Amino acid sequence: MSVKNQLQNVQASIEEACQKSNRNAADVNIVAVTKYVSIDRTKEALEAGVEHIGENRAEDGMAKWNELGDNGIWHFIGNLQSRKVKEMIHAFDYIHSLDRMSLAKEVQKRTPEGEKKKCFVQVNVSGESSKSGLSVEETIPFIKELCKYKAIEVVGLMTMAPFVEDAEEVRPYFRKLRELKEEIQQMQLPHAPCSHLSMGMSNDYTVAVEEGATFIRVGSALVG
């Protein structure tokens, strides 16, 4: 199916989820996750009106950015090795996977003086051992400590829910992330406005939207 048609389907589902939860669909940003698809298919997504592109590997992401970089807003959504930061940091507007101080230190080091990098702190809400991210308990102390890195702006929290057949099962994890985000927002830390939630993938984004997602990361259902 064309990206254009799939985008219409995703937008219709977002609209419906927003109606159910009394939200404005304009507050939900769609990040098209292009990690499995070609540069051509990524281009098709941008031409179909997708604004945000998500990649989870530095090399593949840079190859696409070198061709198409000017046409979108780029999100790094995968595990990020510190040694890769230098080569990718200028291309990506957002990093969704900040999960350790050593990575924060590297982002600080590689961000041009006076600039800020928009980061989501990744939280492993479900506690699955296969997932990266901080535990719920570690998240607030970690974010407080990030104030020492002036280049880092904590724009929000990110999580990956466990893969399940029935997306309703992961609602409690999305809700928990929202509550944690609200707690951090109330702290009014200058370096951590924390007003966004990056959550929801192809199989569970409607539930994530109902629970407050402002960035959903959709691959197979959009560009697959």
Ligand X SMILES: *Cc1c(COP(=O)(O)O)cnc(C)c1O
Residue 212 binding ligand X, by CB under 6 A: no
Q: Is the dihedral of CA 188, 183, 145, 89 positive or negative?
A: negative
Contact stretch for ligand X (CB under 6 A) within 87-95, 146-154, 170-178, 211-219: 211-219
| Min dist. Cβ of residue 187 to ligand X (A) | 26
The H or E element spanning position 52 is strand 52-55
Task: Name which of 145 and 168 has its Cβ closer to ligand X.
Answer: 168
| Contacting residue, 32, 33, 119, 167, with ligand X by CB under 6 A | 33
| Contacting residue, 34, 42, 56, 111, with ligand X by CB under 6 A | 56
Residue 219 binding ligand X, by CB under 6 A: yes
Residue 80 binding ligand X, by CB under 6 A: no
**Cα atoms in the 13 Å half-sphere on the side-chain side of 195:** 6
Q: Which residues of 93-214 form beta strands (DSSP E)?
A: 94-98, 117-122, 152-158, 196-198
| Min dist. Cβ of residue 160 to ligand X (A) | 5
- How crowded is residue 2: how many other Cβ atoms within 10 Å of its Cβ? 9
Contact stretch for ligand X (CB under 6 A) within 22-30, 140-148, 169-177, 196-204: 196-204
- How long a stretch of residues is the chain? 224
